[in-house]
């Protein structure tokens, strides 16, 4: 398998975590922004985004879609993507949170602070302020996002939550979230994203 990614991409990181945890061999191919503008890459993913997974004749893009593919292909029936209808629905809910509130909250704040991405920082903080208390409350009732074992929901949500301080958003007010992060980091096969310097104006985000 080949995975097109960059080292600092949280979207690619969630895929690398699952590949590691399923003990699958793969080649990681650097796909920086300039490379993603080329016609060759556009043939792999017309959206010109990473990650992209190539597995034989299969080309899969969108990080959450790749997670589903890998589990269904290489770990069917496992705890990573439950078959039980309600648990499966809850996993999908959290995959949606990863693509929505997490991406446009703490994820957007990191992009702005670290990479000067032209997004709205006030909006990112507002989204985080609404979402983090909800996630804290949810995790105060269980070790994992869904059920009593880790799922792809945990892997999908991990990176940008863990990197929230790199976007100027402290996780100190959220002990259940910090405990959950530590549990993901203790899983066999975990690898950390390279750390970036914290901005000087890191602040707490509350539900006010």
Question: Taking Cα atoms as reference points, which of 141, 125, 124, 126 lies closest to residue 177?
Answer: 141
Q: What is the pLDDT of residue 204?
A: 53
Are 71 and 78 in contact by the 8 Å Cβ rule? The answer is: yes
Q: What is the pLDDT of residue 200?
A: 84
43: burial class by Cβ within 10 Å (0-12, 13-18, 19+)?
Answer: exposed
Q: What is the pLDDT of residue 202?
A: 55
Report the predicted TM-score, pTM, of the whole model to 2 decimal places: 0.95
> Is the pLDDT reported for residue 23 higher than 90?
yes
Report the mean per-residue pLDDT for the chain.
96
* Residue range 150-179, pLDDT digits in tens: 999 999 999 999 999 999 999 999 999 999
Distance from C-alpha of 62 to C-alpha of 51, rounded to nearest angstrom: 6
Count of all residues that appear for the chain in the document: 208
* Residue range 71-112, pLDDT digits in tens: 999 999 999 999 999 999 999 999 999 999 999 999 999 999
- Helix runs in 75-151, H state only: 85-97, 108-115, 121-139
Q: What is the pLDDT of residue 205?
A: 56
Question: Taking Cα atoms as reference points, which of 99, 97, 120, 96 lies closest to residue 108?
Answer: 120
């Amino acid at each position: 398998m080949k995975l097109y990614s960059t080292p600092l991409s949280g979207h690619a990181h969630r895929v690398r975590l699952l590949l590691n945890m399923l003990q699958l061999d793969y080649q990681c191919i650097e796909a920086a922004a300039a490379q993603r503008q080329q016609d060759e890459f556009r043939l792999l993913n017309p959206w010109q985004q990473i990650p992209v997974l190539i597995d034989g004749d299969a080309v899969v893009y969108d990080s959450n879609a790749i997670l589903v593919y890998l589990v269904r292909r290489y770990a069917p029936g496992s705890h990573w993507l439950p078959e039980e209808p309600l648990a499966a629905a809850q996993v999908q809910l959290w995959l949606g949170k990863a693509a929505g509130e997490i991406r446009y909250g703490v994820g957007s704040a990191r992009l702005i602070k670290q990479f000067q991405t032209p997004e709205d920082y006030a909006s990112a903080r507002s989204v985080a302020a609404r979402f983090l208390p909800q996630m804290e409350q949810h995790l105060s009732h269980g070790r994992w996002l869904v059920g009593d074992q880790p799922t792809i929901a945990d892997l999908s949500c991990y990176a940008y939550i863990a990197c929230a301080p790199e976007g100027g958003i402290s996780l100190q007010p959220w002990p259940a979230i910090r405990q959950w992060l530590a549990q993901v980091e203790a899983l066999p096969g975990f690898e950390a994203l390279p750390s970036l310097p914290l901005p000087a104006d890191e602040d707490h985000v509350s539900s006010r």
